[in-house]
Amino acid sequence: MSSSRRVGLSRSLGWLAAALVMQACGGPVPEGPGALPAVPPGQVAGALEAGADTEDILTRLQAIPGLTVLGEAPSPIQGTRFFRLSFEQPADHRTPGGEHFQLRATLLHRSVSAPMVVYSGGYSLNGRPSQYEPTALLGANQLSLEHRFFGASRPASNDWKLLDIWQAASDYHRIIQAFKSVYAGHWLTTGGSKGGMSAVYHRYYFPNDVDATVAYVAPNTHGLDDGRFVHFLERVGDEACREKLRDFQRDALSRRAELLPFMAETGDTYGVLGVDRSLEFGIVETPFYFWQYGTPSLCEQIPAPGAPATQVFAFLDDITGMASTYGDASLDYFAAYYYQSATELGWNRYPTHHLHGLLRYAREDVPSAYLPFPVEKRFDRDLMLRVEHWVRREGERMLFLYADRDPWSAGAFDVRERNDSLRFTVPNANHLTAQIVRLPEPERTLALTRLSAWMGVTPPAVQARTLAPEATGDFAPVVEDRPRL
């Protein structure tokens, strides 16, 4: 876990998990965000298979109002073409005649008659050719979107008041409506974690834009101090492992003076939170990250009280990714997430009752603490509850997947079967490994059958292949290995 998590988190500061995606797709790993050269359509690797539609898709894309085709790049995925795009969006959808900005996107094209999957990770855009689980299962096209205020997709004014879930949902709405002039088949939105949440919010505001939604490990948090996550962490795994984690926390907090010098070796500065507060937050949050990304086998690696300081800090850094979670560069990169959490998305509470007398910054681990500027907008305490109630009462053709060991599943959305919606929990899984193909039978067949019906396809060959969990190599993970959600 040590090297893979550090690599994934550090790459999230540039192009999120680019190499991981390429490896998952079986292709070479280009270096740097500029390594996507424009390629004439006739020379694109993995050109359309025989029998597929042969219309000039590039010409049709160029005719979509507001869309700019930045270039076409080789795709390692057979039968597809890959385009890098930008789409003009109003900074404020309430005043469409005002400031505009370019929202980055990519398109994996198979056929104008195939279904369309709209994907977002909820953060910056992964600019490499890849397909996610619903895309592979359905043999679909895939339109991947960057979230506003992440990466290059932000208004020049950088007006934070323009960052809310309605504005982002309106970004989805405008680009979906524009692309329907080319892709007239069934449409589906999907995403993992914050990306899955974004897909849900879009359906809340624009329920008829698409036919269905598949949301992976997407929590709904109650307020800025949601205690459901505390209860989850007090029950996940076995008691022996949980007690080892509590012992580790108490030992680490009592040895601050020994551990603080290691913070200077993590490769970042801690001006926003401060070094001591960052260290404390990391220790307090260790059990959450342990179960979010790890497996029970890691219980054997938890240092016992009195272990050498180098071993204690190495474990802490391995689990929490200190620089990637609390360092200034990471906080700047993910500032939009913390702003959204402080104003609308909410925040989870961590178990601290066993750390009485050891904390210097109790109750300070809140999203506004991670920002270098004050949050002037008041937190909307009712918004997430309204979304949650809509999903339960009215959300149709929605499929939610959670993982039994992922703390975020404590905030799982509830659904109603009468709305033709489903919710599954993948056993022996964490935040990164909750997938349809990992569901046990008969849940897996039910999920695939319902998904196929929603999207108007019957893919018997794909369904047969997905009976084996090793089929996951055909698609990229919907959640990149990164801090927080």
Same domain, 85 and 207: yes
What DSSP letter does each residue of 7-57 carry, written as one string? HHHHHTTSSTTHHHHHHHHT-----STT------GGG-SSPPPTTS--S-H
pLDDT value of residue 480: 73
Q: Does residue 238 lie in a domain region?
A: yes
- Please say whether the beta carbons of 260 and 313 come within 8 A: no
% the chain with pLDDT above 70: 85
Instruction: Round to whole Å and give the CA distance between 381 and 386.
Output: 10
Same domain, 452 and 338: no
Q: Which residue has the higher pLDDT, 428 or 472?
A: 428
Q: How confident is the model at residue 481 (pLDDT cuts 50, 70, 90)?
A: low
Same domain, 243 and 348: yes
Q: Does residue 254 lie in a domain region?
A: yes
Q: Does residue 105 lie in a domain region?
A: yes
Question: Taking residues 295-318, what's their average pLDDT?
Answer: 97
Residue 473 has pLDDT above 50, yes or no: yes
Same domain, 217 and 186: yes
Q: How confident is the model at residue 393 (pLDDT cuts 50, 70, 90)?
A: very high
Task: Spell out where 413-465 has E strands.
Answer: 422-426
Same domain, 110 and 131: yes
Give which of 483, 481, 478, 482 is closest to 218, Cα–Cα: 478
Q: Does residue 91 lie in a domain region?
A: yes
Question: Taking residues 438-464, what's their average pLDDT?
Answer: 83
Q: How confident is the model at residue 210 (pLDDT cuts 50, 70, 90)?
A: very high
Same domain, 208 and 237: no
pLDDT value of residue 12: 34
- Please say whether the beta carbons of 148 and 154 come within 8 A: yes
Q: How confident is the model at residue 483 (pLDDT cuts 50, 70, 90)?
A: low
pLDDT value of residue 51: 35
Residue 53 has pLDDT above 80, yes or no: no
Q: Does residue 113 lie in a domain region?
A: yes
Instruction: Round to whole Å and give the CA distance between 43 and 23.
Output: 22
> Counting beta carbons within 10 angstroms of the beta carbon of residue 4, is it exposed (0 to 12), middle (13 to 18) or buried (19 or more)?
exposed
Q: Does residue 484 lie in a domain region?
A: no
Question: Taking residues 457-476, what's their average pLDDT?
Answer: 56
Q: Does residue 282 lie in a domain region?
A: yes
Q: Which phi-psi region, left, alpha or beta, contains residue 122 (left: φ > 0; alpha: ψ -120 to 50)?
A: left
What are 322-379's pLDDT values in tens digits?
999 999 999 999 999 999 999 999 999 999 999 999 999 999 999 999 999 999 999 9
Residues in contact with 473: Cβ distance below 8 Å, sequence separation at least 6, in sequence order = 24, 26
Angle between helices 165-179 and 194-205 (to 10 degrees): 80
Give which of 245, 249, 301 is closest to 280, Cα–Cα: 249
Distances in whole angstroms, Cα of residue 233 to Cα of each of 59, 219, 287, 449, 481: 53, 15, 7, 34, 20
Same domain, 362 and 408: no
Helix and strand tally (H, E) in the chain? 17, 9
C-alpha triplet 271, 276, 280: angle, nearest 5°: 120
pLDDT value of residue 5: 39
Q: Which residue has the higher pLDDT, 379 or 18?
A: 379
Same domain, 184 and 295: no
Domain around 434: 16-28+37-222+383-474
Residue 464 has pLDDT above 80, yes or no: no
Same domain, 358 and 412: no
Q: Does residue 182 lie in a domain region?
A: yes
Instruction: Round to whole Å and give the CA distance between 217 and 438.
Output: 14
Give which of 484, 46, 23, 414 is closest to 215, Cα–Cα: 414
What are 110-159's pLDDT values in tens digits?
999 999 999 999 999 999 999 999 999 999 999 999 999 999 999 999 99
Same domain, 282 and 425: no
Same domain, 82 and 205: yes
Residue 30 has pLDDT above 50, yes or no: no
> Could you tell me the CATH number of the domain that includes residue 438?
3.40.50.1820
Model pTM score: 0.88
Helix (H, G, I), strand (E, B) or coil at 268: coil
Question: Taking residues 256-273, what's their average pLDDT?
Answer: 97
Domain boundary among 342, 370, 398: 370
pLDDT value of residue 17: 30
Domain boundary among 315, 345, 370: 370
What are 66-79's pLDDT values in tens digits?
999 999 999 999 99
Residues in contact with 53: Cβ distance below 8 Å, sequence separation at least 6, in sequence order = 111, 112, 113
Q: Which residue has the higher pLDDT, 391 or 27?
A: 391
- Please say whether the beta carbons of 296 and 287 come within 8 A: no
Q: Scanning the structure block, which residue is given the tokens 């500061």? A: 13
**How many residues are there in the chain?**
485
Residue 223 has pLDDT above 70, yes or no: yes
Same domain, 52 and 200: yes
Question: Taking residues 4-19, what's their average pLDDT?
Answer: 33
- Residue 400 tokens, joined: 């939610």
Domain total of the chain:
2
Q: Scanning the structure block, which residue is given the tokens 């507001």? A: 66
What are 160-207's pLDDT values in tens digits?
999 999 999 999 999 999 999 999 999 999 999 999 999 999 999 999
Domain boundary among 314, 346, 370: 370
Distances in whole angstroms, Cα of residue 139 to Cα of each of 114, 186, 286, 332, 387: 7, 12, 39, 37, 30
Q: b/e for 267-290, b at 16 or more Cβ within 10 A? A: ebebebbebebbbbbbbbbbbbbb
Q: Which residue has the higher pLDDT, 474 or 402?
A: 402
Q: How confident is the model at residue 261 (pLDDT cuts 50, 70, 90)?
A: very high
Helix (H, G, I), strand (E, B) or coil at 84: strand
